[in-house]
Amino acid sequence: MKINHLTSAEENLMRLFWKMESFYLKDVMEQHPEPKPHQNTVSTYLKILVEKGYLATEKEGRIFKYNVVLPMEEYRKFLLNELVHHFFHDSGKEIVSFLLHEQFISKEDLQEFNPVVEIRPLKVIEEFEYADEILNPKKDKKKTKDKDNKKKKKKKEK
């Protein structure tokens, strides 16, 4: 099953829906925190989320009952896979290194998961050859030799 991306507004509503699991439109209006959106706005989002495959509907008389089809864990897995693919070159090692570097997780936290593994910081080697050339230009040997020769000639003339 293909999972579609959610907008931030859709995601905020889905967080509420994941808690409720099964609900009616009136339940959403009651549970939504202030400021409450207009009922037509919520109805439109419900329709979109049904089309995207996050919700399913059951007709009960004149109203619809909505059920969550895609669990939150599946959506989290989808988002994490997207993040790892687009920003960490499909490397779990890179994401763990980033989490350690940014202090989102500590070495002690990682040791709890696998106490056998020794955690060493990754060496990041970055070469900025072009920047070094600009910041520290190499002097032409010919120019420096010419200057040295001129200085020697001046000293001899004096």
Would 44 be classed as within a structural domain? yes
User: What is the Cα–Cα distance from 150 to 36, expressed in whole angstroms?
Assistant: 83
Q: 43 with 27: CB under 8 angstroms?
A: no
Question: Is residue 61 located within the same domain as residue 99?
Answer: no
Q: Which of 72, 99, 122 is the last residue of a domain?
A: 72
Would 158 be classed as within a structural domain? no
Which of 73, 35, 66 lies closest to 48, judged by CA?
Answer: 66
Question: Is residue 20 located within the same domain as residue 58?
Answer: yes
Which tens digits make up the pLDDT trace of 131-155? 555 555 555 555 556 666 666 666 6
Of the candidate ranges 36-40, 41-45, 102-106, 109-113, the one whose mean pLDDT is the lowest: 109-113
Question: Is residue 95 located within the same domain as residue 47?
Answer: no
55: enclosing H helix or E strand: strand 55-60
Would 21 be classed as within a structural domain? yes
Would 130 be classed as within a structural domain? yes
Domain count, the chain: 2
Would 152 be classed as within a structural domain? no
Q: 72 with 29: CB under 8 angstroms?
A: no
Which tens digits make up the pLDDT trace of 62-86? 999 999 999 999 999 999 999 999 9
Q: What is the CATH number of the domain that holds 40?
A: 1.10.10.10
Would 51 be classed as within a structural domain? yes
Q: Which residues pair with 63 in a beta bridge?
A: 60
Which tens digits make up the pLDDT trace of 83-112? 999 998 888 888 888 888 888 888 888 878
**What are the C-alpha distances in Å from 128 to residues 30, 88, 131, 133?**
57, 21, 5, 9
Sorted by sequence, the CB contacts under 8 Å of residue 39 that are 6+ apart come out as 25, 29
Question: Is residue 16 located within the same domain as residue 64?
Answer: yes
Query: In which domain, by residue range, is 106 found?
Result: 89-137
Question: Strand, helix or coil at 58?
Answer: strand
Query: Which tokens sit at 28?
Result: 């959403």
